[in-house]
Structure 1
Amino acid sequence: MVEREVAHRMFAQEFNDSRFNLYSNSSLPGNQEVYSPNFLISPTGLKVNRVFVVGVITEVDRLSDQNGSEKELWRARISDPTGAFTVYAGSYQPEASVFLSTVSVPSYVMVLGKVRSYEPGDGSVYVSLRPEEINYVDESVRDRWIVDTAEMTLERLDAFDRFFSSSIGTEKLMDRIKSCNIPQTLASGMCLSLDYYHKDKEYYDSLKCVLKKALCSIGASLDNPEDEPDYESIVQSILETLDDGGGFDYSKYIGEAVSQKIPQSIADSTLKSLLSKGHIYEPKAGLFKVIH
């Protein structure tokens, strides 16, 4: 019996930046006797075959014209604070297909899925997930996932910091990585990543900024002074009143906020804050919907 690979946590930006596929020998012609998984190598050296994702499902499309057939295929987008994962479910994922056919958009969901890559031949690589499990969750689960994923990503980024801070010698790349006291499990992925992506220190520093924004999105903000209104709660109440299921227009929201004596600049910034935290989403420019 072959054990399943660990499902790793990673943000959408890193997942979508990943282009390097490490194929096993068993995936090649004539090697079908022993199964060995393929891996996607991320820029931070993560070797992934399966991914655990929690976010907001913002889009669902049926790509086939027939229900219940082998050609049935659904596509969904699961958004986190850094971007969006693309998820495909077909006849070989019947439970996921049923879920996507009835899911309420937008909603918080978790997806446990296998990595899939498509290379059309022009040098580009498109990555997606095929769900093994998909279910509703609540905001607290999403927030916990963001914290855990940020911590795990930061551990890998710290390893790259140690690597770039080390002196450059004549030793081989793997030997230089090991000299930085980096665990073997991460060192092999780092070696593959550095050799393939050729990213510099500035790239990994920029990912730290992405992590900071992701953590800020879950509401780790200072308490309001006693004499300042809780604009976020007031705006949230306004949005829930405006959204009758079909969403609400930006200009209508601003008009209502101003009528309740909220300065326009604060109304605009508060709306953006709620958007970044995943309380609302923007299915198209100028139209917003509340996530219940």
Structure 2
Amino acid sequence: MAEREMAYRIFACEFNDSRFQVSSASDAPGQADLHAPNFLVTTAGAKVNRLFIAGVITEVEDIGSQKGGEKELWRARVSDPTGTFTIYSGNYQPEASVFLSTVEVPSFVTIVGKVRSYEPGDGSVFVSLRPEEINHADESIRNRWMVDTAELTLDRLDIFDEALSSGLSGTDLLDHLSLKNVPSNIAEGICIALDHYHTDRDYIRGLKIQVRDALLSIGSSLSASPGGGLADIEQSVMVMLHEMNQGKGVEYAVLVREAGEKGIPAELVEKAVRSLLSDGSLYEPRVGFFRAID
């Protein structure tokens, strides 16, 4: 029986930027090759078959009745502070499908799932996860996942910087990274990313900024104290969202107008909304509308 691939941790922004898959199938012919795992290689060099993610489930939809689809198929969105993972659960994930059919939205969750990609034929590629296991979580678990994922991501990005500085490529780069004791899966992923995506320093720098901003967002939420500046504005925004919500969220323009009547400037509302989105206290059920997590 084939050994199960490790579940890696990456942020949604990196996952959604990635399009290229490779197979671990050997050159030898035979039935075993049919079961060789496929790996998504991310733009920043992660080589993943399975992922472990944590975030806020913000949307669940039963799409099994759509023509040509599976008889039972659920689509869900799970957000971390950098973006949103798309989840599909169907006939072969019965426990996950039951979970999605009954989960209260929004809720904190953790998911272990296999990476999938879909190419509709127009040159685009869509990536998603098929859940193997999905569980309820809380903010502290999500924050712990973020800290661990940030550490792993930033370490890998530092290795990517080293690869770019070397000026090497292909087997020469692989040998160079091996001599520096870089794990083989990371070295291979970086070499493939450079060859396929031509990832440059600007992308790596931008990804580092997104990761650090995500960490700052949970750091501020953990350290904020009552009566302290932005924390007061955030509390006021949450109160207004609860009071004004009619079940479908509150339009941002309406929120800004209401806050203005209470003496809260629009720029502070914007900062508060960004912070509350980052720490999972509210979400965006549709573009331009916000809803507080109860």
> Any unmatched runs of 5+ in structure 1?
none
CA contact (8 A) 1:166 1:180 kept: no
Higher helix share: 2
Q: State the 1:207 CA deviation.
A: 0.9
Match of 1:21 in 2: 21
- Once residues 198 and 165 of structure 2 are traced to their aligned partners in structure 1, the CA distance between those partners, rounded to angstroms, is 16
Return 158-167 or 126-135, whichever deviates more: 158-167
Q: State the 1:195 CA deviation.
A: 1.7
The yes-or-no answer on 1:98 pairing with 2:98 is yes
Return 240-249 or 76-85, whichever deviates more: 240-249
List 4+ stretches of structure 1 deviating above 6 A.
26-29, 224-227
Match of 2:293 in 1: 291
Match of 1:233 in 2: 235
Number of aligned residues: 290
Q: State the 1:228 CA deviation.
A: 4.9
CA contact (8 A) 2:80 2:278 kept: no
Match of 2:157 in 1: 157
CA deviation string 1:161-189 (max 9, x = no partner): 12222365998232343355533332122
CA deviation string 1:228-266 (max 9, x = no partner): 582223332333333364433434433543444434432
Q: Secondary structure at the match of 1:172?
A: helix
Match of 1:201 in 2: 201
CA deviation string 1:21-71 (max 9, x = no partner): 1113379985347843221111222221110111111121111229xx961
The yes-or-no answer on 1:242 pairing with 2:240 is no
Match of 2:139 in 1: 139
Q: Secondary structure at the match of 1:71?
A: coil
Match of 2:85 in 1: 85
CA contact (8 A) 2:170 2:191 kept: no
Q: In the superposition, relative to structure 1, how do residues 27 and 274 fare at CA in structure 2: closer, same or farther (>3 Å)?
A: farther
Q: State the 1:272 CA deviation.
A: 3.0
- Once residues 99 and 27 of structure 2 are traced to their aligned partners in structure 1, the CA distance between those partners, rounded to angstroms, is 30
CA contact (8 A) 2:56 2:78 kept: yes
Q: Secondary structure at the match of 1:218?
A: helix
Q: State the 1:10 CA deviation.
A: 0.4
CA contact (8 A) 2:249 2:285 kept: no
- Once residues 258 and 211 of structure 1 are traced to their aligned partners in structure 2, the CA distance between those partners, rounded to angstroms, is 32
Return 206-215 or 222-231, whichever deviates more: 222-231
- Once residues 232 and 272 of structure 1 are traced to their aligned partners in structure 2, the CA distance between those partners, rounded to angstroms, is 10
Report matched runs for 1:185-224 at 5 Å.
Answer: 185-220=185-220
Q: In the superposition, relative to structure 1, how do residues 277 and 223 fare at CA in structure 2: closer, same or farther (>3 Å)?
A: closer
CA contact (8 A) 1:26 1:34 kept: no
Give the TM-score normalised by the residue count of structure 2.
Answer: 0.86
CA contact (8 A) 1:27 1:36 kept: no
Q: Secondary structure at the match of 1:157?
A: helix
Give the TM-score normalised by the residue count of structure 1.
Answer: 0.86
Q: In the superposition, relative to structure 1, how do residues 106 and 269 fare at CA in structure 2: closer, same or farther (>3 Å)?
A: same
Match of 2:264 in 1: 262
Q: In the superposition, relative to structure 1, how do residues 88 and 285 fare at CA in structure 2: closer, same or farther (>3 Å)?
A: closer
- Once residues 135 and 119 of structure 1 are traced to their aligned partners in structure 2, the CA distance between those partners, rounded to angstroms, is 29
Q: In the superposition, relative to structure 1, how do residues 227 and 131 fare at CA in structure 2: closer, same or farther (>3 Å)?
A: closer
One-letter identity of the residue aligned with 1:235: V
- Once residues 33 and 166 of structure 1 are traced to their aligned partners in structure 2, the CA distance between those partners, rounded to angstroms, is 35
- Once residues 170 and 77 of structure 1 are traced to their aligned partners in structure 2, the CA distance between those partners, rounded to angstroms, is 37
Return 201-210 or 117-126, whichever deviates more: 117-126
One-letter identity of the residue aligned with 1:54: A
Seq. identity, %: 53
Q: In the superposition, relative to structure 1, how do residues 191 and 251 fare at CA in structure 2: closer, same or farther (>3 Å)?
A: closer
CA contact (8 A) 1:58 1:78 kept: yes
The yes-or-no answer on 1:111 pairing with 2:111 is yes
Match of 2:283 in 1: 281
Return 179-188 or 204-213, whichever deviates more: 179-188
